[in-house]
């Protein structure tokens, strides 16, 4: 009976004005009701705290959330660095094109954009063994008929541009989109030919283990990308239709043509 009487006892909680002692608010609670009220207040506080963590930046100071934030910052930083590197390479590439077209770069002063390690590797790969010399001779013999397009007696060149490689154009010129090259799919072990007579002024070993070559002609400049084995050296004088490199197996050849410093659509001046 005493326990039942104890549960029936209620407590009065009042809020009064200190100056007038007038009661402003009150509530009567049994011990069980007081516990229920505390539990309710705790649940409400827990819910508000959860909402605060989920929808406000407060979550960034928690261990689990801060790790995700750091990972996102690392990923974004890496993307920014990659974009910066790409813009720098593009800027250097355009500088080289402007210098070559303006005649400011001599064949013996062309510098590559790669590190010293890649330059040393390029020199080792370009070094010709006896087997390579024989291989090059076979391809130069294959292009012998192409070299007959020059009038030897009058030394007047034919204005027709040679195809840089035998194949099918898979990606077309789009100057309005900033794309000045075309891509040509070719069979394996196909040779890359100079479209006009000129001087090989630039050979660069790229990070994807391919080569980029630039040949300076009278008022034209031709650029060959994704080449495999290089058959000539910087400074070599080449004739129209002469082999300068081999295609890289499995990769289409990228080709650009510039005239007087302006890009030209290769499909409009070369018969494919």
Q: Which residue has the tokens 């289409």?
A: 252
Nearest-angstrom CA–CA distance, 191 and 227? 9
**61 falls within a domain:** no
- Identify whether 94 is part of a domain: no
Does residue 190 fall inside a structural domain? yes
Out of 55, 73, 96, a domain closes at 55
What is the structure's pLDDT at 256?
96
Residue 72 CB burial class (10 angstroms; 0-12, 13-18, ≥19): exposed
Q: What's the domain range around 37?
A: 2-55
Is residue 74 included in any domain, yes or no? no
> Looking at residue 152, what is its pLDDT?
44
Residues 50 and 181 in one domain: no
Q: Does residue 68 fall inside a structural domain?
A: no
Same domain flag for 244 and 177: yes
Cβ density class 141-154: b for 16+ within 10 Å, e for less = eebeebeeebeeee
Counted domains in the chain: 2
One domain, residues 34 and 129: no
The answer on 51 and 115 residing in a single domain is no
Q: Is residue 80 part of a domain?
A: no
Co-location of 150 and 247 in the same domain: yes
Q: For residue 89, is it within any domain?
A: no
The confidence score (pLDDT) of residue 185 equals 93
pLDDT of 267: 92
Whether residue 48 is found in the same domain as residue 167:
no
- Tell me how crowded residue 66 is: count the other CB atoms within 10 A of its CB: 12
Q: What is the dihedral of CA 244, 246, 252, 255, to 10 degrees?
A: 0
pLDDT in tens, the chain (272 residues): 444 455 566 677 778 878 887 887 777 777 777 778 788 888 999 888 888 777 776 666 666 555 566 667 777 777 787 777 777 777 877 877 877 777 665 554 444 445 555 555 666 556 555 666 777 676 666 655 555 444 444 444 445 799 999 999 999 999 888 899 999 999 888 899 999 999 999 999 988 889 999 999 989 999 999 998 899 999 999 999 999 999 988 789 999 999 998 999 999 999 87
Q: What is the pLDDT of residues 147-190, one digit of tens each?
A: 544 444 444 444 579 999 999 999 999 988 889 999 999 988 88
Last residue in a domain, options 34, 55, 76: 55
**Type and span of the H or E element at 70:** helix 63-101
The verdict on 31 and 166 lying in the same domain is no
Residues 10 and 109 occupy one common structural domain:
no
Do 111 and 245 fall into the same domain?
Answer: yes
User: CATH number, domain at 249?
Assistant: 2.70.70.10
């Amino acid at each position: 009976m005493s326990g039942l009487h104890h549960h029936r006892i209620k407590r009065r909680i009042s809020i009064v004005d200190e100056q007038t002692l007038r009661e402003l608010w009150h509530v009567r609670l049994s011990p069980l009701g007081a516990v229920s009220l505390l539990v309710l207040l705790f649940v409400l506080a827990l819910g508000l705290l959860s909402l605060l963590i989920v929808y406000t930046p407060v979550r960034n100071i928690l261990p689990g959330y801060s790790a995700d934030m750091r990972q996102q910052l690392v990923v974004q930083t890496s993307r920014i660095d990659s974009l910066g590197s790409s813009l720098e390479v593009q800027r250097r590439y355009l500088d080289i094109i402007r210098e070559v077209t303006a005649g400011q770069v001599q064949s013996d002063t062309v510098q590559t954009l790669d590190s010293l390690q890649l330059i040393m590797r390029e020199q080792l790969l370009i070094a010709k063994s006896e087997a390579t010399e024989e291989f090059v001779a076979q391809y130069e013999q294959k292009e012998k008929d192409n070299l007959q397009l020059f009038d030897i007696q009058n030394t007047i060149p034919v204005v027709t541009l040679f195809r840089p490689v035998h194949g099918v154009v898979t990606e077309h010129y789009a100057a309005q989109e900033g794309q000045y090259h075309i891509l040509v799919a070719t069979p394996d072990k196909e040779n890359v030919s100079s479209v006009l007579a000129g001087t090989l002024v630039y050979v660069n070993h790229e990070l994807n283990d391919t080569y980029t070559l630039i040949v300076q002609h009278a008022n034209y400049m031709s650029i060959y990308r994704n080449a495999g084995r290089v058959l000539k050296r910087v400074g070599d004088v080449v004739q129209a239709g002469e082999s300068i490199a081999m295609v890289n197996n499995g990769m289409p050849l990228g080709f650009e043509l510039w005239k007087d410093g302006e890009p030209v659509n290769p499909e409009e001046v070369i018969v494919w």
